[in-house]
Structures are given as C-alpha cells and as structure tokens.
Amino acid sequence: MNTVLNISTYKFVPLPDAPALRELLLGRAQALQLKGTILLAEEGINMFLAGPADDVRSFVAQLQQDARFADINPKESWSDSQPFKKMLVKVKGEIIRMNHPTIKPADGRAPSVAPATVKRWLDQGHDDAGRPVVTLDTRNDFEVDEGTFDGAIDWRITKFTEFPDALRSHLDDLKDKTVVSFCTGGIRCEKAAILMREEGLEHVYQLEGGILKYFEETDGSHYQGGCFVFDERRALSADLQATGLQHSTEA
C-alpha cells in the first residue's frame, strides 16, 4: 500500500538569506521526521521530500507562510516505502547548475505551455499557428535513456553545464520551429528556455511542471518509458508509480 507521499517543487526567487533559511528548514524537516533534499541558493529553492502525507503537507504549509513561497505548488506521487535515506538541506551557488550567470529566472520566466496543450500539439503535429513542434530534452543522457517523448531532440549531454554549448551548435536546426523544452519537474527546462530566447529563438516554451506534471495531467501519450527520478524509486511510469529501486542520488 502506498502510504509515503513524495513531493518535488522549485521556485526561482531571490533568497539572500539562504544560509539562515537552511537552518530553519532543516530543523522543521527533522522535527517532522521527513527525508529528502532541499537545495537553496540566492536564485531560489529546489526541494524533494518524502514522508507521511500529513507531515509533508504540514511542512509545505509552514513554508507557504513565507510570502516568497506562498504560491509553491508541489507535484505529488506515492510510494510504499521511504525513497530517501536522510534529510539534507544544502546551500549552493545555483539550485540547478548551468554556469551561465546572466540567466536569472526570478527576473522573468520564459513562456510556459500547459501539459494538455503540449499533448494536443503533439496529437495534431503542429502548434496552433501551424508551426512544426519539436520537444527538446534538457536532461542528462542517462536520464533520457530511462524514457523520453517520441522523437525528442537529445544532445546527449552528461551535465547541464554542457547545454549552452550544445544549444549554440544546433541553433539553425531549431529556427522556424516551436520548441518545447522539458525536464523532470521544470527547473532545467525553465533555464534552458530563457537561454534559447536570449540566443534568438522566437517560438520557445517550457513544459509547465515538466514530465511529472505531464504524467499527472494527461494520459502520458507521446512519451515512451519512465521518468528518471533522483531517489530509490529509480523512475516513475506515466501513472506515477515506481518502476524500480536504486541508491539515492543528489538531484
């Protein structure tokens, strides 16, 4: 029976107090006996937590009391065991490392597109303006190998810091197309979409909420395989059920 609630969420928002926030959030999570990883940086928060539903939701409710996190809306899935071994709260230079300091999502997001709209575009083979639609996987190669959208562009990057150079090598391939960047939960494809706009691509969107939100809000069509997750569940199928076990890895 699936009794463990797993959540993932992120937000790009200025956090100049990240070190102090680390101590506060670690104390709260430990008091509720939650496990997982929270990454904090001056650019925002990236969070993966698991535990009994009431305790996880209590943590989220407390977090939302901070006006900066009031609109956080975690993606939820369930498991029959705790997928994390410990509780970690870390302060980093970036919550997802791109090594591209001019990209600041807190200053303005790239346009997003809802999962249902992406499914409709893929069903019909073009966007609402008639442009061809391509999906661009912004994840690392080993994640892509677990599953991805049919025909997705995959540049076989081994870490996200390689994405800017890969993009510049393939810009001509993306012109005159509608590009939907996607990743696990939205964080990487948000930075990627902003960079693509900066590089002159006009019709670029991020998949709102990433693959996990696509699974949650659609029937998962046009996606083959599972979605790799950085915990012991290994990957989630389109019905958000675990497909296997692995050793926990930092996201």
Strands (E), 42-146: 44-52, 75-79, 87-91, 112-113, 133-137
Average pLDDT over residues 134-151: 97
Average pLDDT over residues 158-176: 95
Q: Which amino acid is at 104?
A: K
pTM here? 0.81
Of residues 141 and 96, the one with the higher pLDDT is 141
In this structure, what CATH number is given to the domain that contains residue 48?
Answer: 3.30.70.100
pLDDT at 133 over 90: yes
The pLDDT of residue 101 is 66
The pLDDT of residue 250 is 38
In a domain, 245, yes or no: no
Write out pLDDT tens, residues 1-50: 789 999 999 999 999 999 999 999 999 999 999 999 999 999 999 999 99
% of the chain at pLDDT higher than 70: 94
Domain boundary (91, 126, 155) is at 91
The two tokens of residue 189 are 């494809």
Rounded CA-CA distance 216/24 in Å is 31
In a domain, 222, yes or no: yes
Q: How many domains does the chain have?
A: 2
The pLDDT of residue 244 is 63
Residue 85 CB partners (closer than 8 Å, separation 6+) = 35, 232, 248
The pLDDT of residue 97 is 83
In this structure, what CATH number is given to the domain that contains residue 157?
Answer: 3.40.250.10
Task: Give catalytic residues, as residue numbers.
Answer: 183
Domain that holds residue 231: 105-236
Residues 141, 49 share a domain:
no
Residues 40, 109 share a domain:
no
The two tokens of residue 165 are 């150079």
For helices 115-124 and 210-217, angle between their N-to-C axes, nearest 10 degrees: 80
Rounded CA-CA distance 115/214 in Å is 5
